[in-house]
Amino acid sequence: MQTVDRQAQPVVAGKPEANPLREGLRLERMAEPCTMVICGATGDLTERKLAPALYNTLLGGFLPPEFTVVGFARRDLTDEVFRQHLLDGINEHSRNKPVKPAIWESFARGIEYHHGNFDDPVAYVELAKRLDRIDRDRGTAGNRLFYFAVPPSLYPEIVNQLDRAGLAANGDRRTTGSKRGWTRVIVEKPFGYDLDSARTLNHEMAEVLDEDQVYRIDHYLGKETVQNLSVFRFGNGLFEPIWNRRYIDSVQITVAETVGVEGRGDFYDATGALRDIVQNHGLQLLAMFAMEPPIEFGAEDLRDEKLKVLRAVKPMARADVAANTVRGQYVSGWVEGARVSSYRDEPEVAPASETETFVALKLAIDSWRWAGVPFYIRTGKALPSRVTEIAVQFRRAPLALFSRAGVPQIDPNVLAIRVQPDEGILLRFGAKVPGQGLQIRTVNMDFRYGSSFAVDSPDAYETLLLDAMTGDASLFTRDDEVERAWAILDPILEAWAAGEGGPLHFYGAGSWGPPAADELLDRDGRAWRKP
């Protein structure tokens, strides 16, 4: 991570002027001058996530005055129309609003729009000329960050076109344009459809780009609580000694959404919950939770440890899939007071679709630390609460010390790490009820980021975009991690496709999934935690 002793200042006529928000503040983390090219810039992702993230990063003083955005898409827009598109997104979705006029005016001077088709070589030649001109006029030093806000099927085409135009290589390897600076590419999920497609995509990108140029983004890893997992474990002598099979009974990872497919029926019906959430968010949360202490908190050390966890996860034999997985699909019901129609009634969803909108599965990590500890993952749409959490159930106390006094068996201790919403950590333990006699009641010790710190946590995209600009790949997924995740899930997908993985269960919108998901844990003498 580079340390830059410089103020974030608005630019007027190519020269910085004082920013009263950051006056006198020495920054420890700031991006280098660079240009961010958003491929697919007119889409929903740019409006809802990227534009607010960039504005808030600038507002926080982490972007240099030279920073420039170029939107690249098929629609024929002017610079002014594109700027207004970004402004509308910031006004609606930013955590800091209303927009500060002086900051927006500074930001807007560095926003341009480039019209072209992604399969048109001329568009990339013209893009290269534009980027060279921006390097000269704004001092972006030949540093380029390309964000692929497009379907993964377009990644190889765009990468190859960038290569032909001399825009893909780092520094002195460029054949045109600036002879210095870096080039990095951020790609969105889903990265592949199965193991074979992920390998093919990795290979196609590797023919042009070095692995250290590719940043596979998973926005869950940019969330404050996920990053705090490592600090919580390795920065506190209290917890790391009990983070193992001797003290932990089981682990539950829940990624629940209240919404349905939200008009994305065509995409979702070809994807499903296992590919959409478990392959990336679910397994990445598992790896972050279960990894061994890295040698250093560098990108490669962290990703090496995550990969070791994924390599230790035992892929299921096809015959075991029905016993260890549950797939469901929502039917009509009520969520947060609103009527939700059945999944099969959604636009662009097949009337007899077998696509799962809910999945629960039991995984085992075959390692010295975690042998015998079941890891349960569940995710679904149209559930009663929007919540992501990791819940750790500890083993019960070995002696029923209070049973002679008439106290029933005490509930096990639970540590719940909430990723969203109300990010924080909850510890549940038993305590004596005040008064005569002996009564024990479960109580909660609850830490919340929002009420414990006097700062507003950055959005995940703010963290990840800044990491990519500073060259920190710690929270991005490496090619071998992606392929190993697919290797874990491929047997499940194959069994479901062959009709050997158990039936598709239906659940009412607003419930916590089909009863079969409860039975999955009930067979082990456990139950899902209700967040």
CA distances from 291 to 130, 280, 315, 427 (A): 44, 16, 18, 21
Number of neighbours of residue 117 by Cβ within 10 angstroms: 11
Residues 483, 199 contacting (CB under 8 angstroms)? yes
Phi first, then psi, for residue 364 (nearest 5°) are -125, 135
44: CB partners within 8 A, 6+ apart: none
Token readout for 286 is 């598992």
- How far, in Å, CA of 214 to CA of 202, rounded? 10
- How far, in Å, CA of 142 to CA of 35, rounded? 8
Residues 46, 71 contacting (CB under 8 angstroms)? yes
Question: Active-site residue numbers?
Answer: 281
Phi first, then psi, for residue 139 (nearest 5°) are 75, 40
Residues 222, 461 contacting (CB under 8 angstroms)? yes
3-state secondary structure of 475: coil
What DSSP line would sit under 102-161, residue for residue? HHHHHHHTTEEEEE--TT-HHHHHHHHHHHHHHHHHH--TT-EEEEE-S-GGGHHHHHHH
Burial of 520 (0-12, 13-18, 19+ CB in 10 A): buried
Residue among 214, 277, 220, 144 nearest 461 (CA)? 220
AA letter at 9: Q
- How far, in Å, CA of 128 to CA of 467, rounded? 24
Residues 387, 421 contacting (CB under 8 angstroms)? yes
Residues 273, 360 contacting (CB under 8 angstroms)? no
Burial of 38 (0-12, 13-18, 19+ CB in 10 A): buried
